[in-house]
Chains A and B, each alone.
Chain A
Amino acid sequence: DGGITQSPKYLFRKEGQNVTLSCEQNLNHDAMYWYRQDPGQGLRLIYYSQIVNDFQKGDIAEGYSVSREKKESFPLTVTSAQKNPTAFYLCASSLKVAGPETQYFGPGTRLLVL
């Protein structure tokens, strides 16, 4: 059963704490993405990766970090430098970055600040 999984579904962060959101895909896609969605807003790109061990900043990368050690996995760390982290975080993947490739989304992680 192919798809994208994200965990946890809900995550609570305390002030000054770093938290990591998991994203795994078994679609054999090269490209993976992280988006943030705030209420009434469109999706904003945080980071993306075209290939293992390579990633690029999106439009709102400050306060976030990523790694891509395996093709299947693209975890996102929300650092303490991100002052307004409360949002719905969506991971996506596509066959590749270039060209008109469709992006498919995981179920999302909702991050809340305590």
Chain B
Amino acid sequence: QKEVEQNSGPLSVPEGAIASLNCTYSDRGSQSFFWYRQYSGKSPELIMFIYSNGDKEDGRFTAQLNKASQYVSLLIRDSQPSDSATYLCAVKWGGSEKLVFGKGTKLTVNP
């Protein structure tokens, strides 16, 4: 059974700080990793995807992938109150047709 684990939080950071969100997965051989942001009552929206070990940066967001340790993280620099949301990690294993989601980490950025 392939699983994706996230700390449910809530994670609280002050405005302007770096928020670090972590995700671990159960099985090696994984292929692709996705971070979605979900505001309360809304549907998930894609923030970033990452396929290769290392860092991938997009604006204030950086995804970090370490396949040997089976974790992927999302860093949000200069956090803003508008970043307050639940962040979902999703993993798609090679050869699988399914995307497996973690339960999400709730982030609150305090002004």
A residues near B (Cβ < 8 Å) are 40-45, 48, 50, 56, 58-59, 90, 97-98, 100, 102-108
A45 contact set on B, CB distance < 8 A? 98-99
B33 nearest CB neighbor, chain A only: A100
Contact B4 A42 (CB under 8 A): yes
Bound together, the chains give a CA A101 to CA B12 distance in angstroms of 32
Q: Is the CB of A97 within 8 A of B97?
A: yes
CA distance in complex: A56, B98 (Å): 11
**Judging by beta carbons under 8 Å apart, are A108 and B42 in contact?**
yes
Q: Given known contacts A90-B43, A105-B43, is B103 in contact with A42 (CB within 8 Å)?
A: yes
Map CB proximity to A onto B2-40 as digits: 1 under 8 Å, 0 otherwise: 001000100000000000000000000001101010000
Complex formed: what's the CA distance from A97 to B31 in Å? Answer: 14
In the assembly, what is the distance between CA of A108 and CA of B99, in Å?
18
A107 vs B42: C-alpha distance when bound (angstroms): 6
Which residues of B in the span 32-89 have a Cβ within 8 Å of any Cβ on A? 32, 34, 36, 42-46, 49, 51, 88
Asked, given contacts A42-B104, A48-B97, A100-B51, whether A105 binds B44 with beta carbons under 8 Å apart, the answer is yes
By beta carbon, the residue of chain B nearest A50 is: B97
Asked whether A40 lies within 8 Å of B31 as measured between CB atoms, the reply is: no
Query: Of A43, A48, A50, A97, which is within 8 A of B44 by CB?
Result: A43
Question: Is there contact, CB below 8 Å, between A105 and B92?
Answer: no
By a CB distance below 8 angstroms, the chain A residues around B4 are: 42
CB nearest neighbor in B for A103: B99
Q: A45-B99, A98-B97, A100-B49 are in contact. List 7 more A-B contacts (CB 8 A).
A: A40-B103, A41-B103, A42-B4, A102-B46, A103-B99, A105-B45, A107-B43
Beta-carbon contact of A43 and B42 below 8 Å: no
